[in-house]
Amino acid sequence: MDLEACTTAFLSARRQKWSQRTLTAYEKDLACLLDYLKTHGVTEPQEVTVKRLRGFLAGEMTRGVSKASVARRLSCYRSFFDYLEQHELVSANVARALALPKKDKTIPKYFYHEEVSTLLNHMDGDSFADVRDRALLEFIYATGVRVSECVALDVGDISLDEQLALVFGKGAKERYVIVGSAACDALRRYLQLRSRVAQTNALFVNARGGRLTDRSVRRILDKRIAQVPGLRKLSPHGLRHTFATHLLDGGADLRSVQELLGHASLSSTQIYTHTSRERLTRVYQDSHPRSERPRGE
C-alpha cells in the first residue's frame, strides 16, 4: 500500500471519531507532506525517514510557516504513523523521533473597556441587522464563547430568566455560561424580531432565517468596527480575549475564568495574566509621577 492509499485509509478510519474540521486540517497537512515526498521519489510508507521528515518541517519553517502550524502538522504526522505502525505498514513511527517546536508566546489582542463600550453602543438602530448584531456581539462579549459555539446555539439552549446559556464546546463538552443583564436585554429585543424571519431553531440567524456561520460573524464584526471612527480591528476571537482580560482585570480568579472559557487546562488560561500585567504596567507608567515614562507621553 503506497502513501496515498495509506492516507485515504487513515482518514477513513478517523471519520467517525473526528470533526469535519479536524479531518479537513489533517487532509491538508498530509497532502503537503505527500507532495514533498513525491518530489524526492518517496512513495512508500517504509521509505519515510526521520531525516526526510525533519527536512520537510525545517523547509516549512524557512518558508515562513509558524511554529504553531508546524507543531500541528507534526501532531498530525504522529497520528498518521501511529496508524501505519499499528497496521504493520512501518516498523516504527518516525514522527515520534522529532520534538514539537516550542510555540512563540503571544499576547492576545483585545479591546479596552472604552473601546468595547463604544462599539456596542454604536449599534443603536432599529433594523433587524442592527438589533441582531448588537445582541450577537453583546452575547459573545458577555459570555466569552467561541464563535463556533455561538453560531451552534439554538433558542432552547438559552434561558434569559436564569441568565444562562448551555454551550457545546470542544470535544463535545457541555458547559453553562453566564449571560449578563446587558446581553439579556439585547437578546430579548432581538428575539422579538427574529420570530418574524426564523426558519430554524438557530439562535442567531440571517435576514433569510438561516443560521449564521463563523464567517458571517467575522463579516459582521468587521463591518461594525469599520463604522466606528478610529476603532482598532479585532477578530471575533478577540472578543473572547476581551472577555477574559476584563474579568481578570476586575478581580476574577484564574480558575473561574478557565471554567467560563471552557479551557481543559489552566495553562491555556494563564496567557491572559500577561495581558493584565501589560495593562497594569501601562497604567503605572501613565499615572505615577516618578515612573520612567513621563505622563502623557
240 is catalytic: yes
Catalytic residue among 52, 54, 122, 237: 237
Q: Which of 103, 170, 173, 282 is catalytic?
A: 170
Whether the CB-CB separation of 189 and 180 falls below 8 Å is answered with: no
Residue of 240, 241, 288, 293 marked catalytic: 240
CA distance 56 to 123: 49
> Do you know the residue count of the chain?
297
Q: Is position 272 annotated as part of the catalytic site?
A: yes
C-alpha 161/C-alpha 173 separation (Å) is 24
Q: Is 263 a catalytic residue?
A: yes
146 catalytic, yes or no? Answer: yes
User: Among residues 146, 194, 211, 241, which one is catalytic?
Assistant: 146
The number of angstroms, rounded, from the C-alpha of 169 to the middle of its chain's C-alpha atoms is 11
Alpha-carbon Rg for the chain, nearest whole angstrom, is 23
Q: Around Cβ 27, how many Cβ atoms within 10 Å?
A: 14
Strands (DSSP E) along the chain, which ranges?
A: 158-159, 164-168, 174-178
Q: 83, 110, 190, 272: which is the annotated catalytic residue?
A: 272
Q: Which long-range contacts (CB under 8 A, 24 or more apart) does 127-134 make?
A: 128/193, 128/197, 128/207, 129/207, 131/186, 131/189, 131/190, 131/193, 132/190, 132/193, 132/194, 132/204, 132/205, 133/220, 133/224, 134/186, 134/189, 134/190
List residues with catalytic annotation: 146, 170, 237, 240, 263, 272
